[in-house]
Copies of this chain bind each other. A is one copy, B any other.
């Protein structure tokens, strides 16, 4: 293992000069710098991050705390994060904290305390008070994506607007019997993603004078969740809506699968919109409010870099839904009047 001393020797300079040339701190003449860099390349020298971290206190590594890897939204964000972090020369260490899992506890109690990172990115985490406390006590910058945590700088998409937009699209098509799948009855309407998307739906419905038709069915934010809810909602032909506003694309996909299985055509007999821009949208003729999770990942990394560099930075970024992408025409069913059952 060649160390910086070897590089220095080969270049005919001292270790400190070699270090300066390589890390770019302090004055080095252009000639020396080149010789050192060449020497490093010849030897194939790469600095030991441990040794460097020990003295600088910085690790060139960030921790990512994420509840799922294997749900479309989270996987996509994670890939976005990895790309963005690489571009900034940071490694990424993964902390997978499935809600309620044993590993979640161990991570918060044990692993994070190692502080192997310069900063932390949390994705869609709703931390318990205890977890939040531990997060803060790490004394490293924390930035959150999705759901602003008290005192933590965050990036969120405008969940209310996004869901309102989706619902308005359905209303614009002439639907009135629109149900929302995804909100949880117990949620505070501003505190969680679930809740805010539900709020957007309600807002749209009431604005359109459809308040009496407001109806939501709770669901996991996942494809199987949407499927289960879909079966329930579509099951009874007498109460079946003509359109569904889904809290996420994954829910929407699950719902559509359920609809097809039930023999209800999609979208001719039923319109479904979701939020996120899922890669399956096309396959399922899904209409979607596009809000790329990858870009969300990029945005949160940018924010963290701002914090790390100590410069000024926004403390709360709200991503606005820019456009509604229609992957298929979703015509309103005939005979859907103002006076449904």
Contact = CB atoms under 8 A, between A and B. Distances in A.
Interface string A281-317: 0011000000000000000000000000000000000
Contacts of A82: 69, 94, 96, 103
Most buried by B among A75, A94, A107, A257: A94
Interface string A57-87: 0010100000011101001101100110010
A92 B117 CA distance: 12
A323 interface: no
Given A96-B82, A279-B224, A91 B111 contact: yes
B96 A49 contact: no
Interface residues of A, number: 48
Contact of A223 (B54, B115, B280): B280
Contacts of A103: 82-83, 86
Given A69-B69, A82-B103, A103-B86, A93 B96 contact: no
Given A54-B50, A103-B83, A254 B227 contact: no
A106 interface: yes
Contact of A86 (B47, B61, B106): B106
Most buried by B among A50, A51, A61, A75: A50
B86 A111 contact: yes
Contacts of A92: 93-94
A79 B91 contact: no
A113 interface: yes
A159 B67 CA distance: 31
Contact of A260 (B47, B68, B107, B260): B260
B280 A116 contact: no
A75 B254 CA distance: 19
Most buried by B among A53, A98, A113: A53
A54 B52 CA distance: 10
Contact of A46 (B53, B61, B113): B113
Contacts of A334: none
A91 B114 contact: yes
A258 to B, nearest CB: 8
A79 B86 contact: no
Contacts of A23: none
A288 to B, nearest CB: 15
Interface of A: 44, 46-51, 53-54, 59, 61, 68-70, 72, 75-76, 78-79, 82-83, 86, 91-94, 96, 98, 103, 106-107, 110-111, 113-116, 223-224, 227, 254, 257, 260-261, 279-280, 283-284
Given A61-B116, A69-B82, A70-B72, 12 more contacts: A46-B114, A50-B51, A50-B59, A54-B54, A70-B75, A70-B79, A79-B96, A82-B103, A91-B93, A92-B93, A223-B283, A260-B260
14 contacts: A46-B114, A50-B51, A54-B54, A61-B116, A69-B78, A70-B75, A70-B76, A70-B78, A82-B96, A82-B103, A86-B103, A94-B94, A223-B280, A224-B283
